[in-house]
Amino acid sequence: MSTSPRNPQSPRHGQDPGRAAGGHEAADQAPDVQVSEGVAATSGTYNAVAVLLALIVMAALVYGLVQTGLKASALFTG
Amino acid sequence: MPSILDREAIVAPRTFNRWLIPAAALAIHLCIGQVYAFSVFKIPMMGHFGTGDVAVGWIFSVAIAMLGLAAAFGGTWVERSGPRKSMVVAGAFWVVGFFVATLGIATGQLWLVYLGYGVIGGIGLGIGYISPVSTLMKWFPDRPGLATGLAIMGFGGGALIASPLSNSLMALYGGGTQPEQLQDGLMQTFLTLAVVYAVVIALGALVIRVPHPDWTPAGFNPSEAAAKPMQTTANVSADSSLKTPQFWLLWIVLFCNVTAGIGILENAAPMIQAYFSEITPAAAAGFVGLLSIANMAGRFVWSTTSDYWGRKNNYMMYLGIGLAMYLVIALMGGANLVVFIVATMVIISFYGGGFSTVPAYLKDMFGVFQVGAIHGRLLTAWSAAGVAGPLIVNSLLESQEAAGKTGADLYTLSLYIMVGLLAIGFIANLLVRPVAAKHHVPEDRISEKENVA
């Protein structure tokens, strides 16, 4: 019996997820995305891409906030 | 065998770190949020096409109208297809829209910009806006407000990034910051943005995952949700949701909150100058920047707090305190600059918070089954408010000017109308109750639909 929240849009709901628990370890040598047993593997490459994306997103947000902050400062100086 | 775009291909292992997902959602929202920075192209485009304010303004209006339509009609498809496929399709529309608009700029054909940025790009906006939202809520069943706040904050943040970036690119390609030079850099700027957005959205689509059916966050007990009176554990289909009073009450709530916010956002610069004659154009532009930060911060902060206070209570705050802030501006806004700035920032933070809290509110009311599709349909309230808000303020502005009024008096009537609108929204929110059981989808039918999909 699953203890997960009812997640009706998850794929293959009710399907045997037995191999999934090991999917993470097995996937360390796997390509980025595998279609096997309904579980996408997460390799070292995947983690690197995910971290790179997080860095891009954070850098972009900081750039936007700093630029807008500088513009906003004109309210008090301009 | 499913393709790499299908939902089945992106089911995460149970050991997956869910904190990798918000960056993927933010990636697409930061890109499509560029639409709020479209005004930076207005003057260069007017010069390039030799046309007026209204003709160029239509590009943005068409894009926003298409956003609402695409979200409303594409929501069910997005839910069925999963986040990766919908992010790829949204990204394709968004980027192709930029390319077609670039062609229009290169050939001097304004109609190609309407078609590209407005129609094609607008479809990308609608699909892209809803594509990661329900996925994030499934990753954060314990903190749905935080999840939607993270994603939709990106839409506000997109303008913060795109506005200075576009200005810098136009100056770089045009060889300077004079209007004619910015105009010369338009085409290359559009092309550059298209390539950047293609890369970032592709990375987002690559990183996005859906949770494993048996995954649950550590320490989360789903039965706790059942104990909260305004959070259902049942599910309502997108079609059935339209038959419930809750959907239409929330439509009114969103419409009123957005209309009131747009009323300020649209006229922020001239409004502060009308209230305080000593404010220079540069300082007024700074005020607009400050409101942009309040808009983005409100999307994250207020939505996150709704996980603790409850969605309904949050909207009481948006609409009730927002109403009070409008009254403060109407009655004493011109007396003190700090009071004016604080009141408008609070209103705009509530405007942003209203956008980011509503998907979690919908999840509380209708369950997670087709919440993305229901969210898409509710966004028609945004399209309607996008027309109504500026129409109310601008029409009243013209009539007040014709009546010989000046300064802060020009805005007083508009402010009182916004107070009335917020009062209507407040009452609508008060009337929201849990959805009747007759609208719930039986569990076995949900499983059947999954198998078909």
The answer to whether the CB of B164 falls within 8 A of the CB of B288 is: no
Q: In angstroms, rounded to a whole number, what is the distance separating the alpha carbons of residues A39 and B7?
A: 10
Which residues, other chains included, contact B171 with Cβ-Cβ below 8 Å and sequence gap of 6+? B177, B181, B182, B185
A56/B280 Cβ within 8 A: no
User: For residue B297, what are its two tokens?
Assistant: 């911060």
The answer to whether the CB of B81 falls within 8 A of the CB of B192 is: no
Q: What is the pLDDT of residue A21?
A: 34
* CB-based contact, A48 to chain B, within 8 Å: no
Q: Which of A8, A10, A20 sits opposite B235 (nearest CB)?
A: A8
Helix (H, G, I), strand (E, B) or coil at B448: helix
Q: What is the pLDDT of residue B279?
A: 85
Please state the ipTM of this predicted complex.
0.83
Q: What is the pLDDT of residue A19?
A: 34
The answer to whether the CB of B377 falls within 8 A of the CB of B72 is: yes
Q: What is the pLDDT of residue B227?
A: 60
The DSSP code for B250 is H
Q: In this structure, is the dihedral angle defined by the CA atoms of residues B385, B386, B388 and B389, taken in order, positive or negative?
A: positive
Closest CA to B235 of B373, B136, B334, B110: B373
Q: In angstroms, rounded to a whole number, what is the distance separating the alpha carbons of residues B66 and B72?
A: 10
Band (A29; pLDDT cuts 50, 70, 90): very low
B423 CA: distance to closest CA in chain A (Å):
31
Q: In angstroms, rounded to a whole number, what is the distance separating the alpha carbons of residues B370 and B313?
A: 24
Q: In this structure, is the dihedral angle defined by the CA atoms of residues B29, A6, B354 and B382, taken in order, positive or negative?
A: positive
Segments of chain B scoring below 50 in pLDDT: 451-453
B52 CA: distance to closest CA in chain A (Å):
27
Q: Which of B7, B8, B286 sits opposite A71 (nearest CB)?
A: B286
Q: Which residues of chain A are within 8 Å of residue B341 when distances are taken between CB atoms?
A: 75
Percent of chain A with pLDDT over 70: 45
A28 CA: distance to closest CA in chain B (Å):
12
Q: In angstroms, rounded to a whole number, what is the distance separating the alpha carbons of residues B356 and B298?
A: 9
Q: What is the pLDDT of residue B25?
A: 94
Report the predicted TM-score, pTM, of the whole model to 2 decimal places: 0.82
A63/B286 Cβ within 8 A: no
Q: What is the pLDDT of residue A42?
A: 66
pLDDT in tens, A48-62: 999 999 999 999 999
Could you identify the residue written with the tokens 């104990």? B227
H or E stretch at B384: helix B380-402
Could you identify the residue written with the tokens 């929204």? B425
N-to-C CA span, chain B: 14
The residues in B 305-344 lying below 8 A from A, measured between CB atoms, are 341
Q: In this structure, is the dihedral angle defined by the CA atoms of residues A28, A30, A33 and A36, taken in order, positive or negative?
A: negative
E-strand ranges in B86-188 read none
Q: What is the pLDDT of residue B224?
A: 64
Q: Which of A9, A13, A54 sits opposite B23 (nearest CB)?
A: A54
pLDDT winner (highest mean) among A5-9, A36-40, B80-84, B95-99:
B95-99
User: For residue B46, what are its two tokens?
Assistant: 């007017």
Judged on CB neighbours under 10 Å (0-12, 13-18, 19+), B331 is: exposed
A26 CA: distance to closest CA in chain B (Å):
11
Q: What is the pLDDT of residue B405?
A: 86
The residues in B 219-248 lying below 8 A from A, measured between CB atoms, are 220, 222, 225, 233, 235
CA atoms within 13 A of residue B90's CA, in its CB half-sphere: 35
Q: Tell me which chain B residue has its CA closest to the CA of residue A34.
A: B9
Single-letter code of the amino acid located at B413: L
Secondary structure (DSSP) of B219-231 = T--HHHHHTSTT-
For residue A8, pLDDT beyond 50: no
The answer to whether the CB of B289 falls within 8 A of the CB of A68 is: yes
Q: Tell me which chain A residue has its CA closest to the CA of residue B142.
A: A5
Which residues, other chains included, contact B93 with Cβ-Cβ below 8 Å and sequence gap of 6+? B120, B121, B123, B124, B127, B128
Which residues, other chains included, contact B176 with Cβ-Cβ below 8 Å and sequence gap of 6+? none
The residues in B 153-172 lying below 8 A from A, measured between CB atoms, are 154, 157, 160-161, 163-165
Q: What is the pLDDT of residue A27?
A: 36
Q: In angstroms, rounded to a whole number, what is the distance separating the alpha carbons of residues B249 and B152?
A: 22
The answer to whether the CB of B210 falls within 8 A of the CB of B11 is: yes
Could you identify the residue written with the tokens 């639909």? B449
Q: In angstroms, rounded to a whole number, what is the distance separating the alpha carbons of residues B196 and B215?
A: 34
Q: What is the pLDDT of residue A25?
A: 34
Q: Tell me which chain A residue has its CA closest to the CA of residue B167.
A: A67
